[in-house]
């Protein structure tokens, strides 16, 4: 396959998202600033002010109103996008659920940042992990390049008639959002053709066929509406790969449920999402040079969770360590519990260790990751949740 020569820019993750938004040119964006997402909205607003996109911006007075306005606009048949982080996402929590339950294909870029308190503006995944039951599709990006491309995938996935669910695309706060990377951009026309026209299922503006959105469900109907959402998620899992394949034809890259790094002949592996996977790859490279059979599995699609496929992949291994960038106080960390449950369902008796790292932007160094691989290889896995980079 010949991949064409494309424009490359040295830009931040936030700028990459803004560029993706410019190319998508949504009808409406309702957003509120919060570190470290603010640059997305700032950059995009400047693009609109310069006539590079003809999006109608709603400079709302809170994130709760941001998602509320997105719901109103999407219900009115517009293509709608937004962005937020941390407490902004937490504030819109109520409406995040409503957006998914009302089956509105909103696309939201989330720049992962720790939830308060204490207030912390740096990266961890506590914000989006708190939304994992909301009914949104969740895609995590390791790099700005991935985040940029995932936005197009997300839009097509959201608007697919078998799905019709909102999608959030994540990237690590400051690490990716503010780090400068060389990002290869698609042409405006390529994006336009890929995303196509949005044809809403039902619209408030179709006044000849009035629709009622958001009725009161008593105990006789709510359950059925929720079961529909379960079905939509099942379809999303399939459609994610289908749309990914189509996008591959343009970018030459792959969009699997998870990335596999040296897993073919690995004996042990670390499972980790987002930018920390990059650091882990460097450690894998180093240990592989020493002849150690280590590998990395980097989940990209977190909701719907590709349990069977991950279990299939990890089931052959001797031991696995899951690195979570968030904790679930009182129980196991989110990614860890998903992985363990997946293996159990597949009847794969692989020991899994849980490590929590990076909370509130605590850096993860290769020196922190190496001992994890050593523990996996030696079989001396900690029984309890352990912490990387924490001062005891």
| Residue 90 in the binding site for another protein (CB under 8 A) | no
Q: Considering all CA atoms of the chain, what is the largest pairwise distance in Å, rounded to the nearest integer?
A: 70
Give the nearer residue to another protein in terms of CB position, either 68 or 141.
68
DSSP class per residue in 353-372: EEEEE-GGG----HHHHHHH
Task: Report how far apart, in Å, the C-alpha atoms of 231 and of each of 163, 226, 235 are.
Answer: 8, 9, 6
> Considering only residues 188, 193, 221, 253, which one is a binding residue for another protein as defined by CB under 8 A?
221
* Three-state SS at 209: coil
| Residue 22 in the binding site for another protein (CB under 8 A) | no
Give the nearer residue to another protein in terms of CB position, either 78 or 311.
78
> Considering only residues 133, 188, 206, 245, which one is a binding residue for another protein as defined by CB under 8 A?
206
Shortest CB 202 distance to another protein, Å: 6
From 7-15, 98-106, 300-308, 343-351, give the range in contact with another protein by CB under 8 A: 98-106
Binding mask of the shown chain, residues 42 to 81, with x at each position contacting another protein by CB under 8 A: ------------xxx-xxxxx-xx--xxxxxxxxxxx-x-
Do residues 324 and 332 lie in contact, with contact meaning Cβ atoms separated by under 8 Å? no
Give the nearer residue to another protein in terms of CB position, either 29 or 186.
29
Shortest CB 28 distance to another protein, Å: 5
End-to-end CA distance of the chain: 52
- Rounded to the nearest 5°, which phi and psi values hold at 322? -105, 125
> Considering only residues 5, 224, 265, 384, which one is a binding residue for another protein as defined by CB under 8 A?
224
Do residues 27 and 80 lie in contact, with contact meaning Cβ atoms separated by under 8 Å? yes
Do residues 274 and 171 lie in contact, with contact meaning Cβ atoms separated by under 8 Å? yes
| Residue 225 in the binding site for another protein (CB under 8 A) | yes
Q: Are strands 319-324 and 268-272 parallel, antiparallel or unpaired?
A: parallel
Give the nearer residue to another protein in terms of CB position, either 13 or 135.
135
Task: Report how far apart, in Å, the C-alpha atoms of 20 and of each of 14, 29, 371 are.
Answer: 10, 13, 39
Tokens of 367: 């020196």
Sheet holding 80-84, edge to edge: 56-59, 28-31, 80-84, 107-112, 167-172, 137-140, 301-303
> Considering only residues 3, 10, 182, 211, which one is a binding residue for another protein as defined by CB under 8 A?
211
Shortest CB 235 distance to another protein, Å: 11
Neighbours of 218 (CB within 10 A): 7
Give the nearer residue to another protein in terms of CB position, either 158 or 266.
158
> Considering only residues 20, 24, 28, 356, which one is a binding residue for another protein as defined by CB under 8 A?
28
| Residue 117 in the binding site for another protein (CB under 8 A) | no
Any idea what DSSP says for residue 187? P
| Residue 30 in the binding site for another protein (CB under 8 A) | yes
Neighbours of 58 (CB within 10 A): 19
| Residue 170 in the binding site for another protein (CB under 8 A) | no
> Considering only residues 18, 20, 81, 104, which one is a binding residue for another protein as defined by CB under 8 A?
104
Applying CB under 8 A, which residues contact another protein? 27-28, 30, 54-56, 58-62, 64-65, 68-78, 80, 94-95, 98, 101-104, 164, 201-207, 209-218, 220-221, 223-225, 227-228, 231-232
């Amino acid at each position: 396959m010949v991949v064409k020569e494309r424009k490359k820019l040295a830009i931040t993750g936030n700028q990459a998202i803004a560029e993706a938004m410019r190319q998508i040119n949504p009808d409406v964006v309702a957003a509120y600033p919060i570190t470290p997402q603010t640059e997305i909205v700032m950059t995009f607003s400047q693009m609109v002010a310069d006539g590079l996109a003809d999006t109608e911006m709603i400079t709302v007075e809170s994130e709760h109103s941001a998602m509320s306005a997105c719901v109103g606009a999407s219900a009115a048949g517009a293509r709608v996008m937004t962005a937020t982080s941390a407490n902004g996402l937490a504030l819109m929590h109520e409406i995040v659920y409503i957006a998914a339950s009302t089956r509105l294909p909103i696309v939201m870029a989330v720049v992962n940042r720790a939830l308060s308190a204490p207030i912390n503006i740096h990266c961890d995944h506590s914000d989006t992990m708190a939304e994992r039951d909301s009914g949104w599709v969740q895609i995590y990006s390791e790099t700005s390049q991935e985040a940029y491309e995932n936005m197009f995938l997300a839009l097509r996935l959201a608007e697919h008639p078998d799905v019709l669910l909102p999608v959030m695309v994540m990237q690590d706060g400051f690490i990716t959002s503010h780090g400068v990377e060389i990002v290869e951009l698609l042409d405006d026309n390529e994006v336009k053709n890929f995303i196509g026209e949005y044809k809403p299922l039902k619209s408030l503006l179709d006044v000849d066929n009035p629709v009622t959105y958001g009725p009161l469900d008593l105990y006789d109907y709510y359950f059925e509406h929720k079961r529909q959402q379960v079905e939509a998620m099942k379809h999303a899992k399939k459609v994610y790969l289908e749309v990914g394949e189509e996008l591959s034809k343009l970018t030459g890259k792959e969009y699997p449920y998870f990335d596999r790094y040296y897993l073919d002949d690995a004996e042990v592996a670390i499972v980790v999402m987002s930018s920390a996977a990059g650091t882990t790859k460097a450690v894998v490279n180093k240990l592989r040079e020493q002849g150690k059979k280590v590998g990395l599995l980097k989940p990209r699609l977190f909701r719907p969770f590709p349990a069977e496929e991950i279990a299939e992949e990890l089931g052959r291994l001797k031991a696995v360590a899951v690195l979570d960038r968030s904790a679930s106080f009182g129980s196991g960390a989110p990614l860890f519990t998903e992985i363990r449950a997946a293996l159990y369902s597949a009847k794969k008796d692989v020991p899994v260790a849980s490590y929590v790292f990076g909370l509130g932007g605590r850096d993860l160094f290769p020196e922190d990751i190496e001992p994890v691989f050593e523990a996996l290889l030696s079989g001396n896995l900690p029984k309890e949740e352990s912490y990387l980079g924490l001062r005891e």
